[in-house]
Amino acid sequence: MKGFVVLSLALAVSFSAHAGENSPTDPHWSYEGERGPAAWGKLTPEFSACAAGQTQSPINIADAESAEMVPITPRYRVSPLDAVYDGRMVQVNVAAGSSVAIGDRTYRLLTYHFHTPSEHLVDGRAYPMEIHFVHKNDAGEWAVLGVLVEPGEANLAAQEVWDNLPSKPGVHARQERILVNARDLMPETLGYYRYTGSLTTPPCREGVNWFVLKTPMQFSAEQIKQISDVMGRNARPVQERHNRIVLGTAKVGK
């Protein structure tokens, strides 16, 4: 599947409404070549933040300031598996009803998708995979939870997704009888790093609240390879921090 280009306009609209908010008129962008990350900001004026933005994501998380932080409380429900591959990444759309409470704010879980390798670095270290859980609240504020993945034990929930990946780009793999809870793709411990950034795909919208969990999740090496073989390399390079403050949980308050 690697290297396929999606020509289906309907799929492009559906997928990007969650991951990158692209519009039907957006030019095709890629993770390599002349339409790769270095060129995103020049492809269309709507992508200008990809080049000119001052709070872009991902970043190298280093020298985080220790702070007492509000708790993250996932309130996720099981959802019928609805996976789609657009030629760049695999995304799972989530049925209504799942949310996350971050302190006194609640955000709806819209989708989650996968990057190989990780987009965020921690003290310069990359992980073989990262999962982004994309949320939005009624005020239009975005919150993305990033979960780093390292080789280890196999993850049963991930295997449910892997076993039902779309056969080719542009195809929805919807399985009503296969129920997946996104919480099963997160570690038990929810300490995190927090900073203000952007979506990591065009149009690179800024003002996104990022919460990158400190504890990595484990997938087996075979599982990591399986999805990497589908998507190839789909990680945006780290962006300039521009003196942004990164906080790291020393203690979780109430």
pLDDT of residue 174: 86
Q: Is residue 18 part of a domain?
A: yes
Instruction: Report the pLDDT averaged over residues 124-143.
Output: 97
Q: Does residue 4 lie within any of the structural domains?
A: no
Note the pLDDT of residue 167. 67
List the one residue out of 183, 193, 180, 94 whose CA is nearest residue 146. 193
> Is 33 part of a structural domain of the chain?
yes
Domain count, the chain: 1
**88 within a domain of the structure (yes/no):** yes
Tell me how far apart the alpha carbons of residues 160 and 125 are, in angstroms, rounded to a whole number.
29
For the entire predicted model, the pTM comes to 0.89
Residues linked to residue 150 through DSSP beta bridges, in sequence order: 218
Least confident residue range of 11-25, 109-123, 151-165, 194-208: 11-25
pLDDT value of position 17: 39
Confidence (pLDDT) at 169? 83
Separation of alpha carbons 88 and 85, rounded Å: 7
The reply to whether 135 falls in a domain is yes
CATH code where residue 229 lies: 3.10.200.10
CA pseudo-torsion sign 233, 131, 210, 78 = positive
**2 within some domain:** no
Measured torsion, CA atoms of residues 62, 63, 67, 73, in degrees rounded to the nearest 10: 0
Residue 125 lies in a domain: yes
- Summarised one tens digit per residue, pLDDT across range 153-185 is 999 999 999 998 876 788 778 889 999 999 999
pLDDT, tens only, 27-67: 689 999 999 999 999 999 999 999 999 999 999 999 999 99
Question: Quick check: 218 and 153 in contact, CB under 8 A?
Answer: yes
Instruction: List all residues 6 or more positions away from 120 whose beta carbon is below 8 Å from its beta carbon.
Output: 57, 58, 59, 60, 61, 130, 146, 148, 212, 238
DSSP 8-state assignment for residue 99: E
Mean of pLDDT values over 183-205: 97
The set of residues, in sequence order, having a beta carbon less than 8 Å from that of 176 and lying 6+ positions away, is 80
Structure tokens that stand for 222 in this block: 């075979």
Q: Which domain holds residue 178?
A: 9-252
Report the alpha-carbon distance of residue 126 to residue 248 in Å, rounded: 18
Q: Which two three-digit tokens encode residue 178? A: 């296969």
The structure tokens listed for 3 are 């290297």
